[in-house]
A and B are shown apart, each in its own frame.
Chain A
Amino acid sequence: MNLYEFEGKKLFAKHGIATPKGAVVKRGDNFMDAYNSLGVTDVVVKAQVLSGKRGKNNGIKFCSSIQEVVMACAELFDMQIRGQYVSALLIEEKLNIAEEHYFSITYDTNKKQPVIIYSSEGGMDIEDVAEEQIEKKFLDVRQSVILSEAKNLGGQLDPSAVPQDDIKNKLWSCFLAEDTRVVEINPLVKTTDGRWVAADAKVAIDDDAFYRHEEWKELEPRTMMGRLPTDREIAAKKIDEGEAYYRGTAGKYIELDGDIAMILNGGGASIANMDALAGAGLKPSNYTEYSGNPPREKVYQLAKVVLSKPGLKGLWMCGVVANFTNIKETFMGIVDALDEIKPAYPIVVRRDGTESAEGFALLEECVKRNNLNIKMFKKETGMSETAQVLAEMIRDSSVITRSEERATS
């Protein structure tokens, strides 16, 4: 999960990296009080978004008076930055900049270990910095301290390198202790009075380490979809929390603009099937998958979330031949939700695996009970083909609806 700048800076400060004096404001807060609390005249007002090139997209405003701050706040809360929702603003003291540097640590997937990247050319996107201006060093995740090469050489010690060494190690301790996937300071500012300050913070935490970070519960729900998370998204995420969180995954729900409810299986097949749905000319109302043999209850919760969205025109439940997910157990959760919601729109199911005969038998009983418009397939029919079947069913049912309308008018 990506953190907002102000959250990242709190982590930096915790590990001894200096950050500018600042105050966070939300919509409806008193911006004047926040500004006055800083006790400085010149400030920067920065939009808090989850990604994107904020500076280049007018997400940062320099102000020197209360009036300017209030105006900047109103303007920024009205914006979207590269499709990202502005959830808060950070009002900070303006730094007197002498130099701008760059530091980041992330995992290099090629080397399968962390890499620290440094450049004296900070302040711009690292992709735009010339290769020879960038220093990269691979780190051993088992070592808690990064040794300075200057110190290792023993001889000439460049005194200006020392503060960077210090910050490097503080950033490393933040990277490790906070279970992050990325930490980036850009720019790391050297002020005209010689202080080193992290002027920005980009941090992504590793969601899978949540069980050893009680404090993450305090982070507000978020989505990168350029809006606030919906109630359905928040409800779905809760399904995979709690003690047996690792017993199957069933908390993935991203709301989209289309009208076909999606209940897919497995991280790989699901993404491929999102492409297959588009290929059949249909638009998904959500991205959802469950995998890893979740219990009935989790599947029921998830199906209820998916089917509760208004305006649905069809449901596609499409999954692979399962390796170890039990079809009967998971279909029981689906049946529970269908019994409750009784959708009138067309449904297509494609699935196979352990106890699939029993699973499909339960589903058939449910279909009879509720008189559902459904077609069911096993492994003999390819997954993408069944998206075409759903498209045809929806076409047919809308023809029927239209002719019924004509008949009654």
Chain B
Amino acid sequence: MSILISKNTKVLVQGITGKEGQKGAKAMLDYGTNVLCGVTPKKGGQEVEGKPVFDTVKEAMAVILSEAKDPLTFGEMDSSTPARASAQNDKLSDVVSVIYVPPFAAKAAILEAIENDIALINVFVERIPIKDTAYCLAAAKEKNIRILGPSSLGAINPGVGRIGVIGGPLVNDIFKPGSIGVISRSGGMTNELSWQLSKNGLGQSAAVHVGGDLLMGTTYADVLKLYEKDEQTKAVIIFGEHGGSYEFEIVELIKNKEFTKPLAIYIGGKFAQMLPEGMNIGHAGAIVARGQGAAEKEAALKEVGVMIAERYEDLVELVKLHA
């Protein structure tokens, strides 16, 4: 089993003709992930990494839908019937759009993906104004569409596939299939923690970079729910941080028995708590706030049985027995 990504995952890259978009497409293809095509307005007709580029997501959908493998239901019914619509949605449930555009173009790109019912949207873009993020999250929620990010480098299921550039070119050194789920606010730490697991003979069921913004499309709690259902995952490690209230959602989740597997967490930023309240340091979402510091979060999580790592290097030791 796996979370977020499967062998059937089909990827569309928005902003594929840009420097980072091109790199992203290549990273996914190199890891054996099925990138179908890309979109860049006014660049339709070009090719990147041998994949066609379209002007709009709508045009790209023709290619994406033609890849859908269920000819029995597809194309036989009137598209206005609910049956056809849901058959189409089932096919789209494997479709992921990964977005690499400048921050000022992000809102339009995300809304375009939402409009076309893409099931999972990975927003790589950093420094999107929070108002634009809130707008997109509201639109996605209405359609039950999952957004991973913003500022997310993506997710990987070792040996299955990756969305985004997670792991970079050293991906095969860093990631090994295994039983530990990884969640991180930091892209770099996603690698660092996964590398430590692999170095110690453990592997990852998946690693998810949820991004460091104040508003997150997919939270720790959302990913933990997926890990709970995933048989391959025996335990989870999290790299959290000061600021924001997302760690407290984990407490609720455990109290409600929605997550029951062993969990170890490191919360960075003891240093940051020495800074004035309201100061922003590190990620956009990491704002110094009394009551939301590393110490308070650790105390609340400890109470519901979460293992707390003093140093991020200790996370591996804490979950070793549960692998």
Contacts and interface: CB of A to CB of B under 8 A. Distances in A.
Interface of A: 2, 50-52, 82-84, 107, 109-110, 112-114, 140-142, 176, 179, 181, 204, 206, 208-209, 211-212, 224-226, 245-246, 249, 254, 265-272, 274-276, 278-279, 287, 289, 291-293, 319-324, 352-354, 379, 382-384
Where chain A touches its partner, the secondary structure class is: mixed
Interface stretch (B51-59, B81-89, B187-195): B187-195
Contacts of B249: 110
B271 A352 contact: no
B237 interface: no
Contact of B130 (A82, A208, A212): A208
Contact of B134 (A141, A245, A275, A379): A141
A278 B212 contact: no
Q: Which 3 A-B pairs have the closest CB atoms?
A: A268-B186, A320-B188, A267-B283
A266 B215 CA distance: 18
Given A254-B281, A271-B241, A271-B269, A266 B189 contact: yes
B168 A109 contact: no
Contacts of B271: 271, 274-275, 278
A268 B282 contact: yes
Contacts of B153: 323-324
Contact of A246 (B103, B187, B268, B283): B103
Given A275-B269, A322-B168, A107 B214 contact: yes
B70 to A, nearest CB: 34
Contacts of B284: 208, 267
A324 B20 contact: yes
B102 A83 contact: no
Given A206-B131, A269-B188, A83 B276 contact: yes
Interface string B150-176: 000100000000000111111001100
Contacts of B170: 321, 352-353, 379
A112 B137 contact: yes
B166 A323 contact: yes
B276 A269 contact: no
B126 A271 contact: no
B281 A265 contact: no
A272 B314 CA distance: 13
A287 B288 CA distance: 15
Interface residues of B, number: 71
Nearest to A176: B131
Contacts of A209: 129-131
A320 B212 CA distance: 16
B241 A179 contact: no
B104 A211 contact: yes
Given A268-B268, A287-B281, A292-B126, A321 B286 contact: no
A279 B310 CA distance: 11
A271 B270 CA distance: 8
Interface in B81-129: 102-104, 125-129
Contacts, number: 188
Contacts of B214: 107, 109, 181
Nearest to B102: A246
Contacts of B188: 265-266, 268-269, 291, 319-323
A2 B242 CA distance: 19
A268 B131 contact: no
29 contacts: A51-B276, A51-B277, A107-B130, A107-B215, A110-B249, A112-B138, A140-B138, A179-B131, A208-B127, A208-B128, A208-B284, A209-B129, A224-B275, A224-B278, A225-B275, A249-B126, A266-B186, A267-B186, A267-B212, A267-B284, A268-B239, A269-B188, A269-B192, A271-B242, A271-B268, A275-B311, A320-B188, A324-B168, A354-B168
Interface of B: 20, 23, 27, 102-104, 125-131, 134-135, 137-139, 141, 153, 165-170, 173-174, 184-192, 195-196, 212, 214-217, 239, 241-242, 244-246, 249, 266, 268-272, 275-279, 281-286, 311-313
Nearest to B213: A208
A141 B246 CA distance: 21
Contacts of A212: 104, 129
Contacts of B283: 267-268
Max chain B C-beta neighbours (<10 A), residue from A83, A110, A268: A268
A241 to B, nearest CB: 12
Contacts of B285: 109
Max chain A C-beta neighbours (<10 A), residue from B153, B166, B195, B239: B195
A383 B137 CA distance: 35
Given A109-B246, A179-B131, A323-B153, A269 B189 contact: yes
Contacts of A272: 189, 239, 266, 268-269, 312
A201 to B, nearest CB: 15
A59 to B, nearest CB: 15
Contacts of A179: 129-131
Given A319-B188, A354-B169, A206 B277 contact: no
B138 A113 contact: yes
A390 B112 CA distance: 50
A110 B188 CA distance: 25
Given A51-B277, A265-B188, A323-B167, A110 B270 contact: no
Max chain A C-beta neighbours (<10 A), residue from B27, B173, B271, B281: B271
A275 B244 contact: no
